[in-house]
Amino acid sequence: MTDATRLTPLGVMVLALLREDPMHPYEMIRLMRQRHDDRIIALTNGTVYHTVARLERLGLVSEVGVEREGNRPERTTYALTDAGDAAITDWVRRELPRLGRPTEYRVALAEAHNLGREETLALLRRRLAALEEALHVYRTGLAKARGGTVFEQYLVEADREFALLTADRAWLAAFLDRLAHPDFVWGPHETDDRYLAQREAARQ
């Protein structure tokens, strides 16, 4: 089992934060809340501290210092290791084209900028092809059921899933066109004053 396959969505988000800079877990928690990452994943102090400890055992992060200010408890700062850096991209590569894993997909999309533009396009085109195949299966199955003796009440969930897949496919096709355009900013870029202010607030 590779390191990437052992990562949870929260673990990936923690590693991605450490790509920005070494941080202590409390700063990670505050940053994720400021960025509203709790829309995607369940976020508690306990789960973040537990996740960081697990990532350290896996060799994906390492302790780089301990600080203490005033009456505050000690704060241990962690940095991303080379293995942790590789694990992020490996995980995103694996999850981005896959169907049926909604939380993983949302995190992979959120962290897809860690991959190059062309690679991201290729992975999302694979997902688009998988969506079209899934839509064909649902379309065929629903038509067959409705042409037989199946009451509509038994098809409600399948009908909803077909609608969600249709919407997902439409969004993805449009996004691929946007991402392919060179004016669409993608990948690492310089920090601005807003980002620096956010980081400073999270450290308090």
- Region of 133 (left: φ > 0; alpha: ψ -120 to 50; beta: rest) is alpha
Give the 3-state secondary structure of residue 77.
strand
Are residues 78 and 24 in contact, defined by beta-carbon separation less than 8 angstroms? yes
Torsion sign (Cα): 18, 104, 109, 187 = positive
Walk along the chain (204 residues) and give the pLDDT tens digit of each residue. 445 668 999 999 999 999 999 999 999 999 999 999 989 998 999 999 999 999 999 999 999 988 766 566 788 999 999 999 999 999 999 999 999 999 999 999 999 999 999 999 999 999 999 999 999 999 999 999 999 989 999 999 999 999 999 999 999 999 999 999 999 999 876 555 565 566 566 566
Dist CA 18 CA 137 (whole Å):
41
Q: Cβ of 24: how many Cβ atoms within 10 Å?
A: 20
**Burial, 106: exposed, middle or buried (Cβ in 10 Å; 0-12, 13-18, 19+)?**
middle
Handedness of CA 187, 192, 198, 204 (dihedral sign): positive
CB 20 within 8 A of CB 114: no
Nearest residue to 16 via CA among 64, 63, 61: 61
Q: What is the pTM of this model?
A: 0.84
pLDDT for 1 equals: 42
In the prediction, which pLDDT does 137 show?
Answer: 97
